[in-house]
Amino acid sequence: MINLHDTYDALAQSPLAPHVEALKSGVRQRFAEYRHGKLTDWLEVLKTLPEVTPSHVSLQKPFKIGLPGDMTAEQRQKLEARLRQFHPWRKGPFDLFGVHIDTEWRSDWKWDRLKEHISPLAHRMVLDVGCGNGYHCWRMAGEGAELVLGVDPSQLFMMQFNAVKHFLPDHPVHFLPVGIEHLPERLDQDGFDTVFSMGVLYHRRSPIDHLRHLFRLLRPGGELVLETLIIEGKPDQVLLPQDRYAQMRNVWFIPTPSMLTAWLDRCEFENARVVNLSRTTPDEQRSTSWMTFQSLEDFLETNNPDRTIEGYPAPRRAIVIAKRPE
């Protein structure tokens, strides 16, 4: 299993120190439940990444680690070949020493939509639930966060994160390969200043339980940044797909924006407000050489891109910001 000692040491020096043993237990539980068949091979690939110190780092836009001149052409070719072994790359894009990882999602567009609306992240403890490969975690660090912890149960995403972390070992960005169900039930005064949950809520069988758990992971006065699928409709309307939605499995509840803020109010959040509504387009989510499977364009009706191939409204997303009361 991957070495998480540096992550545990960093958490032990933070307000999360009383909860480090519980986090270790959650990681052990996750690996006892599931190990990807390629995990051992992926770990060997990580060991072969070149030992190069980047001469330039930008954790803002564009996300860039190193310059082409920091490596020989042969090293760069080997780096790209190793990174491609972690296919598919969903979230990004990344630029590593001139190797451009053109990911399925233009995740930088999502960050652009929310960054002006959130509280400044400088000197804050930040949690990103369902962080994928950690793209947004690095952007959070680029805004000056004191510590960023991303959690996601995907062991492939863990590999992608650690491929990036290999070149930025001293940055305060950490990843635990667990889901929210493996996190402590409540942190309260030891909790995070900001918690992000983006692209997760519609995958939860109980959205209310998810929101209540997020509430308890925040310190009093902390901020929730929530991004999720929504539908247009009556204020109290919710879509419950019968099977798949845009070919996604495990999609449960897609509310209207009004219902979404009502859920947050019911969960005792304050000042829940929608700061962005956007339609997801094939320009933002698409197949690339780094993600060669089907993508959004394949999941919309050919003659009516306003509908998914299952006949549901095409994906729209909302960003909502709310506070835990002091």
What domains sit in the chain, N to C, each tagged with a CATH number? 5-35+104-323 (3.40.50.150)
**Tens digit of each residue's pLDDT (9 = 90 or more) over 195-204:** 999 999 999 9
Task: Give the per-residue pLDDT at 43.
Answer: 97
pTM here?
Answer: 0.97
Task: Give the per-residue pLDDT at 3.
Answer: 87
Pick the closest to residue 93 from 160, 151, 46 (CA basis): 160
Per residue in 136-147, is it b (16+ CB within 10 Å) or e — as a string? bbbbbbbbebeb
Using an 8 Å Cβ cutoff, are 129 and 194 in contact? no
With a pLDDT cut of 70, the percent of the chain lying above it is 100
Task: Give the per-residue pLDDT at 34.
Answer: 94
Using an 8 Å Cβ cutoff, are 248 and 218 in contact? no
Q: On the CB side of 171, how many CA atoms lie within 13 Å of its CA?
A: 27
Averaged pLDDT, 115-137 = 98
Position 254 pLDDT exceeds 90? yes
Confidence of residue 23 (pLDDT cuts 50, 70, 90): very high
d(CA 142, CA 297): 32
- How far from chain centre, in Å, is Cα 51? 27
Position 86 pLDDT exceeds 80? yes
**Tens digit of each residue's pLDDT (9 = 90 or more) over 193-230:** 999 999 999 999 999 999 999 999 999 999 999 999 99
Averaged pLDDT, 160-184 = 97
CA angle 6, 137, 273 (to 5 degrees): 140
Averaged pLDDT, 178-183 = 95
Averaged pLDDT, 318-326 = 98
Pick the closest to residue 323 from 260, 267, 256 (CA basis): 267
Phi, psi of 291 (to 5 degrees): -150, 90
d(CA 240, CA 312): 10
CA–CA distance from 182 to each of 185, 199, 201 (Å)? 9, 18, 16
Position 1 pLDDT exceeds 80? no
As beta bridge partners, residue 307 has 313
Averaged pLDDT, 86-111 = 98
